[in-house]
């Protein structure tokens, strides 16, 4: 793989998320206003594996969706700048499907592209793959709103 577009330090400068909920390790490709490809290294020390499931760790589907959403958030924020008092909020999901389990040691490749981009909102299509196999897919929506 080539040099990342964003490493973890650059991602943390853009996104408000922090451990244990930062779910994007590296941005591999970025076409502002079009698409993004990112990487999540899935490790056994992820906090959710203690309870999902003991002795048989499987990454929860909602966590995979959050990783896709964070990747989409990076694409939106690279394409549009929010006002200083705004955050990008996840607002919905459609056509969610889980196709294979994701387990410790996997590298989750997150591919996202815009379906619709407006001034205040975005709709994206996202996939998560492991070694070229589809693990999950979804359409996600987000909008800018005031910080609490």
> What pLDDT, in 10s, does the model give residues 10-31?
999 999 999 999 999 999 999 9
Q: Is 52 a catalytic residue?
A: yes
Considering the entire predicted model, what is its pTM? 0.96
User: CA 76, CA 70: separation in Å to the nearest integer?
Assistant: 10
CATH fold for the domain made of 8-146: Thiol Ester Dehydrase; Chain A (3.10.129)
Instruction: Output the six-digit token pair for 40.
Output: 């999540």
CA distances from 23 to 69, 84, 119, 135, 148 (A): 9, 24, 26, 16, 22
For 31-52, b/e burial (b = at least 16 CB within 10 A) is eeeeebbbbbebeeebeebeee
Q: Which of 28, 31, 35, 52 is catalytic?
A: 52
pLDDT band at 2 (very low <50, low <70, confident <90, very high): low
**pLDDT computed for residue 114 by the predictor:** 98
Can you say whether residue 27 is alpha, beta or left, with left for phi > 0 and alpha for psi between -120 and 50 degrees? beta
**pLDDT computed for residue 81 by the predictor:** 86
């Amino acid at each position: 793989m080539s040099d990342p577009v964003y490493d973890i330090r650059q991602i943390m400068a853009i996104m408000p998320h922090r451990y244990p909920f930062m779910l994007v390790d590296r941005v591999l490709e970025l076409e502002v206003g079009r698409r993004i490809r990112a990487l999540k290294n899935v490790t056994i020390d992820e906090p959710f594996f203690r309870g999902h499931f003991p002795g048989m760790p499987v990454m929860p589907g909602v966590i995979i969706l959050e990783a896709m959403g964070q990747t989409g958030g990076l694409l939106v924020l690279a394409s549009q700048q929010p006002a200083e008092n705004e955050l990008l909020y996840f607002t919905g999901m459609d056509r969610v499907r889980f196709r294979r389990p994701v387990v410790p040691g996997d590298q989750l490749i997150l591919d996202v592209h815009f379906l619709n981009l407006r001034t205040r909102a975005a709709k994206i299509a996202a996939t998560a793959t492991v070694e070229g196999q589809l693990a999950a897919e979804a359409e996600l929506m987000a909008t800018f709103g005031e910080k609490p």
